[in-house]
């Protein structure tokens, strides 16, 4: 054991931001107010698909207190351009993907229920909401399609004029001929078809924006995980102005989970409203607006097959996925089910061949983009469901199949069938730790006890590996040593995940200063020169490595001046040097990091009601070197809770005919509560640190939401196996489980 420096790397330091957040002293956009500020409300489409024939704003504009009403046409007239997105795909014929332009306010057509059509700006939020109702829109409603596979059918309602088949683009990987040959020679073939349910992130804080446009310069206060990207997109893509003329300011964020990563139409409309009125304009979403207009997560259906030899060795995997990207392509909408989400598709296994075909489809639903895990939960869920199916097909226990096919530690670095290099990991060891921590062998007794109470007991295990961070491998920070404090300026973004604490610990570790002397400045594109923001679990191991580099440069600078300060002597050194010393730290990590873990779930199912109770959940995660175990435990536990939410409760449902969102409130969209799991054990294994960044850390923010769904699925299907149920899709709600039991009986 390495001794832990007081407050340094590995110390379980209580989060410095928590006092502020739990005592109501956090500062969110809704807390910000500027002199002369106006309030915005949006007119939203009641239709999933309609042509806008006319928008009559006269009555709204005539209402006392109303300052402006802007429509899509007004924004076009003002030269406001559509929101950008990553157009990474090609269509089947090789031509580039082309999505309909996503205007901040719909122009001509609306393509999902809740799409913003006009913005009303008034002296109070109440007046703005009243006036929004007075905007009269003449609609020509059209048929809508909300499910990806239905959208591919002949004659389906059309979302995108550029892609009349609703197929935005395709993504393929592998050698189909070689995979065919492997399947032909296989002793066993396992097949699954699984749906990955559409989710709403539902951060505690709804989205909000406060724009002020003075003297030709836009200041946008917004809860955004990637402030510099937002600045670039606003300046370059949307308004066509120099980046210096845009300042993005982010204070506290009440949860991001990926859904607050990118630019939204409302932010652009609020900014334009501020420019138009010359007054600050603020908008705070209602929860209903969050459900309708936040980007959603997941929503794909996959058919997959696994070829095995007689011993259970994986020979090849074939995957065909149809992913629903929604009505418009949000920034990474087309990336997540393709380039990003398929990186870990080989899982922790040596499977030599993968044939992958992804079709990205548009529908009349809210855009789908990043949500905790962003493509990787879908991959892990699919692979682990396939392994469970292979156990049924071969008669070999799933655990044995996994162990037989794991990439061994000795084989690291290992290039997977997806062409990805896993640098580190000890899957067999982590599995052994999980089995012990979960009392795997003790399940039989608990199962018997459950049976005595009339319940079906089940046990499931899942192993996941995920790719984090290196889509954007560069990060830099400025570090200022002052007479009293050390200040780090970072373009990554705290959104509740504890960066202020973990970053400070890195400074403590390197310089020996007291934790209380460290300040972390984020979320201001004026004070922080650049940064990639926070997403994909990249912050600590990339942004943190940049802090390590900055500290090393400061030490070198001191040495060059003949000093070797430590602890408080740093501040005396700074004073002796005239007050403030500034260094720039920079890092480019070599590759993605590959966090992985083994999750074990036990459930009890009430035969009479179909209710599933998670009785025990054990997570053993390898996040590489741990900077703060308290924070990582919290990250894993929170992500597990979200994963349990996806597995057991959550599903965004649109009406197939009308295209209306049926789960538009917490009365219909079930969120996990604290009681979702009766006993949760979180364990961290640091025995295989990451080799591709200086800290040895791997991303830690998403694993739970990746590992939990397949672990729950395995447990539920294990419990139901004796009743003849072999397949179910998430969420495993009581009515759904009950119906499966009824069907199996008949």
Partner 1 sequence: MYAFEYLRAGSVAEAGALLAKNPEAKLLAGGQTFIPTLKARLAQPSHVIDIGRIAELRGITVSGATVTIGAMTRHAEVAASAEVRAAIPALAALALEIGDQQVRNRGTLGGSVANNDPAADYPSAVLGLNATVITSRREIAADDYFQGMFSTALEDGEIIKAIRFPCPKRAAYCKFHHPASGYAMAGAFVADTGAGVRVAITGAGASGVFRWKAAETALAKSFSAAALDGLAVDEGTCIADLHAGADYRAHLAGVMTRRAVQKITG
Nearer to partner 1, 286 or 415 (CB): 286
Candidate list 77, 138, 484, 668; residue touching partner 1; CB under 8 A:
668
Kindly tell me which of 202 and 321 has the beta carbon lying closer to partner 1.
Answer: 202
Question: Given the complex with partner 1, which of 214 and 665 has the nearer CB atom?
Answer: 665
652 binds partner 1 (CB under 8 A): no
Part in contact with partner 1 (CB under 8 A); list of ranges 216-224, 387-395, 618-626, 668-676: 668-676
Q: Is 526 in the site for partner 1 (CB under 8 A)?
A: no
Please tell me whether residue 662 binds partner 1 under the rule CB under 8 A. yes
Which of 375/645 has CB closer to partner 1? 645
Minimum distance of partner 1 from residue 644's CB (angstroms): 12
Check: CB of residue 290 under 8 Å from CB of residue 327.
no
Q: What is the DSSP string of 71-132?
A: EHHHHHHTTPPPBP-----B-TTSPBP-PPPB-SS--SEE-STT-EEEEEEESSHHHHHHHH
C-beta closer to partner 1: residue 283 or 406: 283
670 lines the binding site for partner 1 (CB under 8 A)? yes
> Based on CB atoms, which residue is closest to partner 1, 95 or 126?
126
* Segment 15 to 34, residues that bind partner 1, using CB under 8 A: none
Of 183, 283, 503, 669, the one binding partner 1 (CB under 8 A) is 669
How far is Cα 245 from Cα 213, in angstroms, rounded to an integer? 10
Spatial CA neighbour of 375 closest among 466, 469, 305: 466
Burial of 323 (0-12, 13-18, 19+ CB in 10 A): buried
Instruction: List b or e across 466-499, with b for residues whose CB sees 16 or more CB atoms inside 10 angstroms.
Output: bbbbbbbbebbbbbbbbeebbbbbbbbbbbbbbb
Cβ atoms of 710 and 590 within 8 Å: the answer is no
Assess 653 for contact with partner 1 (CB under 8 A): yes
Q: Interface with partner 1 includes 735 (CB under 8 A)?
A: yes
Beta-sheet strands, E only, within 485-566:
486-490, 518-521
Give the nearer residue to partner 1 in terms of CB position, either 474 or 653: 653
Segment near partner 1 (CB under 8 A), from 88-96, 238-246, 346-354, 669-677?
Answer: 669-677
The verdict on 663 binding partner 1 (CB under 8 A) reads: yes
| DSSP code of residue 543 | I
CB atoms within 10 A of CB 408: 12
Query: Which one, 451 or 743, has the nearer CB to partner 1?
Result: 743
Site for partner 1 contains 42 (CB under 8 A): no
Starting at the edge strand found earlier in the chain, the sheet holding 474-481 runs 518-521, 486-490, 474-481, 581-588
Site string for partner 1, 608-647 (x = CB under 8 A): xxxx------------------------------------
Of 336, 715, 733, 740, the one binding partner 1 by CB under 8 A? 733
Give me the 276-295 binding string for partner 1, x by CB under 8 A, dash otherwise.
Answer: ----------x-x-------
Q: Residues 693 to 712: which contact partner 1 by CB under 8 A?
A: none
Please tell me the count of residues contacting partner 1 according to CB under 8 A: 27
Helices (H), 281-356: 287-293
421 binds partner 1 (CB under 8 A): no
- Could you give the residue ranges of the DSSP H alpha helices within 278-370? 287-293
Spacing of C-alpha 508 from chain mean position: 30
Is the previous residue joined to 731 through a cis bond, with omega within 30 degrees of 0? yes
The 84-123 site mask, x for binding partner 1 (CB under 8 A), equals ----------------------------------------
Which residues between 159 and 178 bind partner 1 (CB under 8 A)?
none
- For residue 452, state whether it binds partner 1 (rule: CB under 8 A): no
How far is the C-alpha of 316 from the C-alpha of 184, rounded, in Å?
10
Ranges of H-type helices in 167-302: 176-184, 227-232, 265-277, 287-293
With binding defined as CB under 8 A, does residue 738 bind partner 1? yes
The reply to whether 129 sits near partner 1 by the rule CB under 8 A is yes
Task: Name the one range near partner 1 by CB under 8 A: 124-132, 317-325, 343-351, 521-529.
Answer: 124-132
As given in the structure block, the two tokens for residue 587 are 């890092």
Is the peptide bond between 244 and the residue preceding it cis, with omega within 30 degrees of 0? no
- With CB under 8 A as the contact rule, which of the stretches 62-70, 126-134, 266-274, 687-695 interacts with partner 1? 126-134
Distance CA 377, CA 347 (A): 11
- Which positions touch partner 1 (CB under 8 A)? 126, 129-130, 133, 286, 288, 608-611, 648-649, 653, 662-663, 665-671, 733-735, 738-739
């Amino acid at each position: 054991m390495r001794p832990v420096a007081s407050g340094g790397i590995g110390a379980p330091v209580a989060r410095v931001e928590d006092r502020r957040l739990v005592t109501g002293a956090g500062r969110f956009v809704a807390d910000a107010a500027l002199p002369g500020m106006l309030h915005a409300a949006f007119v939203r489409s009641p239709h999933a698909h309609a042509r806008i024939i006319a928008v009559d704003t006269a009555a709204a504009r005539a209402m006392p207190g109303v300052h402006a009403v802007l429509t899509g046409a007004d924004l076009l007239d003002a030269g406001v351009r559509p929101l950008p997105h990553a157009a990474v795909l090609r269509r089947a014929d090789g031509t580039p993907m082309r999505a309909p332009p996503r205007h901040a306010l719909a122009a001509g057509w609306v393509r999902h229920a809740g799409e913003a059509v006009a913005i009303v700006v008034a002296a109070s939020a109440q007046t703005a909401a009243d006036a929004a109702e007075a905007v009269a829109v003449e609609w020509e409603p059209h048929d809508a399609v909300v499910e990806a596979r239905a959208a591919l059918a002949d004659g389906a309602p059309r979302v995108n004029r550029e892609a009349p088949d609703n197929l935005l683009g395709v993504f393929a990987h592998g050698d189909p001929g070689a995979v065919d040959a492997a399947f032909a020679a296989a002793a066993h073939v396992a097949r699954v078809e699984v749906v990955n349910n559409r989710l709403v992130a539902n951060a505690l804080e709804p989205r909000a924006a406060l724009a002020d446009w003075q003297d030709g310069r836009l200041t946008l206060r917004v809860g955004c995980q990637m402030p510099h990207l937002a600045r670039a997109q606003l300046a370059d893509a949307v308004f066509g102005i120099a980046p210096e003329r845009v300042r993005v300011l982010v204070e506290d964020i009440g949860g991001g989970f990926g859904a607050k990563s990118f630019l939204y139409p409302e932010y652009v409309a609020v900014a334009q409203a501020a420019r138009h009125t010359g007054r600050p304009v603020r908008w705070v979403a209602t929860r209903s607006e969050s459900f309708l207009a936040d980007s959603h997560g997941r929503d794909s259906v996959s058919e997959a097959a696994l070829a095995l030899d007689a011993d259970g060795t994986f020979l090849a995997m074939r995957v065909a996925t149809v992913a629903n990207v929604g009505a418009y392509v949000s920034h990474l909408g087309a990336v997540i089910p393709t380039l990003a989400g398929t990186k870990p598709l080989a899982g922790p296994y040596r499977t030599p061949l993968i044939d992958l075909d992804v079709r990205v489809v548009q529908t009349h639903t809210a855009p789908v983009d990043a949500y905790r895990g962003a493509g990787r939960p879908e991959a892990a869920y699919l692979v682990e469901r396939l392994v469970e199916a292979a156990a049924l097909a071969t008669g070999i226990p799933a655990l044995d199949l996994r162990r037989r096919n794991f990439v061994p530690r000795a084989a690291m670095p290992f290039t997977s069938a997806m062409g990805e290099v896993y640098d580190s990991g000890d899957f067999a060891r982590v599995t052994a730790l999980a089995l012990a921590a979960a009392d795997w062998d003790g399940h039989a007794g608990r199962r018997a006890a459950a049976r005595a109470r009339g319940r079906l007991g089940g046990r499931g295990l899942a192993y996941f590996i995920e790719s984090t961070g290196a889509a954007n491998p560069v990060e830099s920070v400025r570090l200022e040593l002052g007479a009293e404090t050390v200040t780090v300026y970072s373009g990554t973004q705290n959104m509740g995940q504890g960066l202020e604490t973990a970053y400070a610990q890195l400074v403590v570790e390197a310089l020996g200063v007291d934790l209380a002397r460290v300040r972390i400045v984020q979320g201001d594109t004026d004070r922080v020169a650049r940064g990639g923001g926070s997403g994909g679990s990249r912050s600590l191991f990339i942004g943190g490595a940049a802090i390590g580099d900055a500290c090393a440069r400061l030490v070198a600078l001191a040495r060059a001046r003949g000093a070797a300060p430590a602890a408080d002597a740093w501040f005396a050194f700074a004073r002796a040097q005239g007050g403030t010393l500034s260094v720039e730290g920079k890092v480019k990590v070599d590759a993605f990091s590959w966090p992985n873990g083994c999750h074990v779930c036990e459930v009890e199912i009430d035969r009479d009601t179909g209710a599933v109770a998670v009785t025990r959940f054990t997570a053993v995660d390898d996040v590489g070197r741990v900077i703060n175990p308290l924070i990582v435990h919290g990250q894993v536990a929170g992500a597990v809770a979200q994963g349990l939410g996806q597995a057991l409760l959550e599903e965004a449902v649109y009406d197939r005919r009308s295209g209306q969102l049926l789960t538009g409130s917490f009365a219909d969209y079930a969120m996990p509560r604290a009681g979702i799991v009766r006993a949760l054990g979180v364990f961290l294994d640091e025995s295989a640190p990451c080799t591709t960044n200086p800290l040895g850390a791997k991303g830690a923010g998403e694993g739970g939401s990746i590992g939990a769904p397949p672990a729950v699925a395995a447990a539920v299907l294990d419990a139901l196996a004796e009743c003849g149920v072999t397949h179910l899709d998430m969420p495993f709600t009581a009515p759904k489980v009950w119906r499966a039991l009824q069907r199996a009986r008949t």
